[in-house]
């Protein structure tokens, strides 16, 4: 299987080849895909272990998460991808019997330090789930505001917050005339963009997306992927995906997990064209998983 790197994919879509055989986008790639050794981390895990009761499901993960870039987490089912992202905003510890050890740094501050408020962490590090989950009894408008209200906030101008967030997720034009209708009445792709708007209303710095497209059809998936391209200008994004093409299309960096360990982390084009580890190559070429 050949998987295209993000820049190559977009170059092909734009058909912007230059005379020297490269494309403008490929030439500019180095500006936004630094070598992994030079990435500027927004977050960093250091020897992160995670447990469910006695079972250790993350076995010492040390991974930098590049600022204002997209990092994809890939690996076979059960390897710990969801657990990893849930450790990044302290949602793992919400599960009874679950705990984490090691360090998770956000702007160099350990989010597990006893002085740090987990609610504040979850505002700075937002999450979007696999299945779109708008609040069923709420209108589209109230869904956008729901996260703020749950945090006890009453924006001065809620309508402008609603419009701004729905524009940010490219949903405004589709729903501006039906803001009072139930969020659950939207298509699943629209619902997922609504849930992203709800997360963004809290003004997070990092957005965690755990298989955000797995319940969506290809057209809705493409819309969410376009949105991720836009959002990475302003946010640090971590996306879990089983879809290799999706990782290649949206992510600047990719981390391959296997059985609770990090096997390889590099620029996405390196992971998909010349991985260093045989297990990475076996996985991305579909030999297992």
Ligand X SMILES: Nc1ncnc2c1ncn2[C@@H]1O[C@H](COP(=O)(O)OP(=O)(O)OP(=O)(O)O)[C@@H](O)[C@H]1O
Q: For binding to ligand X (CB under 6 A), which residues are involved? A: 52, 57, 75, 77-83, 95
User: Cβ–Cβ contacts within 10 Å for residue 118, how many?
Assistant: 14
- Residue 23 is given by DSSP the state B
Interatomic CA distance for residues 50 and 58, integer angstroms: 5
Comparing CB distances to ligand X, the nearer of 136 and 286 is: 286
95 binds, among Mg ion, ligand X, none (CB under 5 to 8 A by kind): ligand X
Q: How far is the CB of 172 from ligand X (least distance, A)?
A: 32
Nearest to Mg ion by Cβ — which residue? 82
Comparing CB distances to ligand X, the nearer of 253 and 256 is: 256
Comparing CB distances to Mg ion, the nearer of 130 and 273 is: 130
Cα 28-242-188 angle, rounded to 5 deg: 95
Q: What are the counts of helices (DSSP H) followed by strands (DSSP E) for the chain?
A: 12, 10
Q: How far is the CB of 1 from ligand X (least distance, A)?
A: 19
Q: How far is the CB of 81 from Mg ion (least distance, A)?
A: 5
Report residue 72 as tokens. 């994809």
Report residue 125 as tokens. 């590090």
Q: How far is the CB of 79 from ligand X (least distance, A)?
A: 4
185 binds, among ligand X, Mg ion, none (CB under 5 to 8 A by kind): none
83 binds, among ligand X, Mg ion, none (CB under 5 to 8 A by kind): ligand X
Comparing CB distances to ligand X, the nearer of 74 and 200 is: 74
Interatomic CA distance for residues 1 and 137, integer angstroms: 44
The burial class, CB within 10 Å (0-12 / 13-18 / 19+), for 261 is middle
Pairing of strands 261-267, 125-128: unpaired
Host H or E run for residue 49: strand 41-52
Comparing CB distances to Mg ion, the nearer of 5 and 82 is: 82
Q: How far is the CB of 84 from ligand X (least distance, A)?
A: 7
Q: How far is the CB of 109 from ligand X (least distance, A)?
A: 25
Among the listed ranges 50-58, 75-83, 173-181, 217-225, the one in contact with Mg ion (CB under 5 A) is: 75-83
Comparing CB distances to ligand X, the nearer of 57 and 106 is: 57
Kindly identify the residues of this chain, within the stretch 80-119, that bind Mg ion according to CB under 5 A. 82
Comparing CB distances to ligand X, the nearer of 81 and 249 is: 81
Pairing of strands 41-52, 98-106: antiparallel
Interatomic CA distance for residues 248 and 246, integer angstroms: 5
Cα 48-247-195 angle, rounded to 5 deg: 80
Q: How far is the CB of 254 from ligand X (least distance, A)?
A: 14
Where do contacts with Mg ion occur on this chain (CB under 5 A)? 82
């Amino acid at each position: 299987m050949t998987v295209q790197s993000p820049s190559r994919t977009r170059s092909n879509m734009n058909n912007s080849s230059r005379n020297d055989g490269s494309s403008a986008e490929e030439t500019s790639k180095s500006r936004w895909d630094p070598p992994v050794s030079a990435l500027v981390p927004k977050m960093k895990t250091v020897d992160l272990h995670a447990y469910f009761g006695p079972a250790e499901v993350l076995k010492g993960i040390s991974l930098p998460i590049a600022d204002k870039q997209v990092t994809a987490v890939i690996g076979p089912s059960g390897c710990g991808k969801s657990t990893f992202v849930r450790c990044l905003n302290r949602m793992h510890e919400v599960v009874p019997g679950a705990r984490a050890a090691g360090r998770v740094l956000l702007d160099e501050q350990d989010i597990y330090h006893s002085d740090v408020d987990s609610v504040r962490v979850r505002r700075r590090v937002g999450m979007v789930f696999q299945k779109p989950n708008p609040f069923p009894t709420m209108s589209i408008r109230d869904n956008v505001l729901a996260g703020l209200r749950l945090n006890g906030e009453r924006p001065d101008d809620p309508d402008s917050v609603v419009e701004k967030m729905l524009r940010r997720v490219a949903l405004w034009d589709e729903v501006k005339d039906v803001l009072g209708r139930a969020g659950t009445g939207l298509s699943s792709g629209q619902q997922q963009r609504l849930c992203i708007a709800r997360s963004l209303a809290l003004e997070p710095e990092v957005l965690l997306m755990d298989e955000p497209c797995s319940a969506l059809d290809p057209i809705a998936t493409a819309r969410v992927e376009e949105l991720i391209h836009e959002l990475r200008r302003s946010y640090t994004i971590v996306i879990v995906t089983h879809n290799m093409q999706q990782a290649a299309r949206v992510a600047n960096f990719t981390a391959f997990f296997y059985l609770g360990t990090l096997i390889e982390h590099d620029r996405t084009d390196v992971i998909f064209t010349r991985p260093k580890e045989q297990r990475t190559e076996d996985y991305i070429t579909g030999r297992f998983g």
